[in-house]
Amino acid sequence: DTGVSQNPRHKITKRGQNVTFRCDPISEHNRLYWYRQTLGQGPEFLTYFQNEAQLEKSRLLSDRFSAERPKGSFSTLEIQRTEQGDSAMYLCASSLELWGTGELFFGEGSRLTVL
Amino acid sequence: DQQVKQNSPSLSVQEGRISILNCDYTNSMFDYFLWYKKYPAEGPTFLISISSIKDKNEDGRFTVFLNKSAKHLSLHIVPSQPGDSAVYFCAARDSGAGSYQLTFGKGTKLSVIP
């Protein structure tokens, strides 16, 4: 399977715990994006990487959220001290073209439930 | 402030008829508009896109129309099939933003009735 892969698909955690999600993009894609989707809303942009550089992170929801992309391959999104309001679907997407159709290729998402 | 708006949360259409999903936007810097389809517990899947310099793009049963003066686009599906039942998201790209991220609407849930 050469699509975007996300793990775990579902994470249930208690409030205050830290969680980490992993995204493996399509191998030749140099751009990687994280989005969050809550019930009844469209995906909301969080951050993006071009290769290993995180070029936009001002939309991360708080300082409890951080993302990395070591070596420009896979990426991780960490949420520290989780709160119930963090419950959502976290989506990863990747792309290659700058001047193409604008299409982002999404993974199946990681659903977070904070109890 | 929502830059991409889908004002109809849901739409029901009879199988074989036309489905029309609408989207409005406010940012004149958007250069590409895309439609994504999403099934429950899956990520969004790209359907069709249109450049801001065009007014129509067609791919099989799917056609997207863009009216720049009205800042409005629509997705036509004809004929509609039960497998088209899903949530459809309108998205737009702002090439001036640097990141080329997409801004999404809230989605329209399409139900195609057999």
Could you report the per-residue pLDDT of A40-96, keeping only the tens digit for each?
Answer: 899 999 999 988 888 888 788 889 999 999 888 999 999 999 999 999 999 999 998
A98/B41 Cβ within 8 A: no
Evaluate the CA torsion angle A107, B42, B85, B24 in order and state its sign: negative
- Whether chain A has a CB inside 8 Å of the CB on B107: the answer is yes
- Whether chain A has a CB inside 8 Å of the CB on B69: the answer is no
CA distances from B60 to A19, A110, B63 (A): 42, 32, 8
Three-state DSSP class for A85? helix
At A99 the pLDDT is 56
Q: Which of B31, B89, B98 sits opposite A42 (nearest CB)?
A: B89
Please report which confidence band the pLDDT of residue A32 belongs to, taking 50, 70 and 90 as the band edges.
Answer: very high
How confident is the model over B39-87, as pLDDT tens digits?
Answer: 988 899 999 999 999 999 999 999 999 999 999 999 999 999 999 999 9
Q: How far apart (Å, rounded) are the C-alpha atoms in residues B106 and B95?
A: 21
Mutate one of A4, A37, A39 to test the B interface: name it (highest B CB count within 10 A). Answer: A37
Contact between B6 and B107 (Cβ < 8 Å):
yes
A vs B: CB pairs below 8 A: 67
At A102 the pLDDT is 76
- Whether chain A has a CB inside 8 Å of the CB on B104: the answer is yes
